[in-house]
């Protein structure tokens, strides 16, 4: 990826070495431990919310937007929607902290490219427009849910929208970010905090993808032949698009764990002209 950044003219040298060194020492000393503790708490909130969402989907024929009759756990002063809110806030905080860290002023060893040049680079990429179009359709779907469902908690569903948009922006940031390593002066605990954060993102989007696909399957199963309403078809299409967005997030974070120094969002395909001289081996005849 470093070679791609150099060839694309994305590397910037307008930095303050003294400020970078001071911040680097501070971040290396305290931030990894705090990050690990926070991500473990975020994982716990994900488990609590996932129990609520799975139970609503499988046993109450509902979603986490308007589920009633949930009795798997009963924690005083914090109902399932409270855990959903905490989980969303933790996800948004995680993305926001990464936004603040991943720039040429704070961590230039991990992020040598400047945001402005990255933006002018990615707007020429197909994945930028496809992901933004998908995200726009999903936001429209979430808005329709808030408008049409009287039992929906607006402040919680607004956090859902913000979480998706923040995650999308984080993808574009991480795509041009190197993972922390000993070669770049980071300790093993920093690498562990980085991998734990990505792993929680993987589990987060995996759970949401499985739940949404289950809801789509139930929707198909319960649709009666011959009396399907147009809005039911539109709802199904938007649910499938919602699942595809979670799948894109899941695939990115999963690949980032193992291919952290690659431009993951860019897909390289062999040109047709390069296949003209390929010879297909003949099979030997069997007697």
- pLDDT tens column, 6-65: 444 444 444 455 555 666 666 667 788 999 999 999 999 999 999 988 888 888 778 888
Q: How far apart are CA 63 and CA 201, in angstroms?
A: 21
**Residue 13: predicted pLDDT:** 44
Nearest residue to 24 via CA among 109, 100, 98, 97? 109
167 vs 268, which has greater pLDDT?
Answer: 167
Q: How far apart are the first and last CA of the chain?
A: 52
Cα-based distances in Å from 36 to 40, 154, 180, 193, 240: 6, 31, 15, 5, 33
pLDDT digit string (tens) for 208-251?
999 999 888 887 776 665 555 677 778 888 899 999 999 999 99
**Residue 268: predicted pLDDT:** 46
Q: How far apart are CA 71 and CA 55, in angstroms?
A: 9
Q: How far apart are CA 10 and CA 49, in angstroms?
A: 40
* Average pLDDT value over all residues in the chain: 80
pTM summary value: 0.81
CB 18 within 8 A of CB 122: no
Q: How far apart are CA 62 and CA 215, in angstroms?
A: 9
Q: How far apart are CA 86 and CA 67, in angstroms?
A: 17
Q: What's the mean pLDDT in 121-127?
A: 86
CB-based burial, 264-285: b 16+ in 10 Å, e otherwise:
bbeeeeeeeeeeeeeeeeeeee
Give the pLDDT band of residue 266 (cuts 50, 70, 90). confident
Task: Evaluate if residue 173 carries a pLDDT over 80.
Answer: yes
DSSP 79: -
What percent of the chain has a predicted confidence (pLDDT) above 70? Answer: 79
Residue 89 in 3-state DSSP? helix
Q: What's the mean pLDDT in 73-92?
A: 90
Mean pLDDT is lowest, of 114-118, 125-129, 204-208, 270-274, for 270-274
**Helix locations, the chain, DSSP H:** 2-7, 17-59, 80-101, 115-122, 126-148, 154-174, 188-222, 230-258
């Amino acid at each position: 990826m470093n070679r791609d950044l150099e060839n694309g003219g994305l590397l910037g040298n307008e930095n303050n070495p003294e400020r970078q060194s001071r911040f680097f020492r501070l971040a290396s000393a305290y931030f990894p431990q705090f990050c690990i503790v926070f991500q473990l708490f975020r994982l716990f909130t994900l488990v609590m919310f996932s129990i609520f969402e799975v139970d609503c989907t499988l046993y109450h024929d509902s979603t986490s937007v308007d589920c009633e009759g949930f009795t798997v756990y009963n924690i005083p002063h914090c109902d399932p929607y409270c855990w959903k809110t905490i989980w969303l806030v933790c996800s948004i905080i995680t993305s926001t902290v990464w936004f603040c860290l991943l720039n040429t002023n704070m961590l230039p060893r991990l992020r040598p490219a400047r945001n402005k040049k990255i933006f002018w680079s990615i707007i020429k990429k197909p994945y930028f427009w496809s992901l933004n179009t998908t995200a726009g359709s999903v936001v429209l779907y979430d808005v329709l849910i808030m408008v049409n469902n009287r039992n929906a908690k607006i402040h919680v569903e607004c956090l859902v929208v913000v979480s998706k948009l923040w995650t999308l922006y984080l993808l574009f940031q991480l795509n041009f970010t190197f993972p922390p390593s000993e070669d770049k002066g980071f300790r093993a605990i920093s690498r562990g905090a980085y991998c734990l954060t990505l792993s929680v993102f993987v589990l987060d989007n995996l759970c949401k993808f499985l739940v949404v696909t289950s809801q789509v399957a139930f929707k198909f199963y319960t649709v009666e032949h011959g009396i399907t309403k147009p809005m039911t078809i539109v709802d199904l299409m938007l649910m499938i698009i919602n699942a595809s967005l979670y799948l894109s997030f899941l695939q990115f974070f999963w690949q980032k764990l193992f291919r952290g120094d690659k431009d993951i969002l860019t897909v390289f395909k062999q040109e047709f002209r390069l296949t003209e001289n390929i010879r297909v081996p003949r099979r030997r005849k069997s007697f």
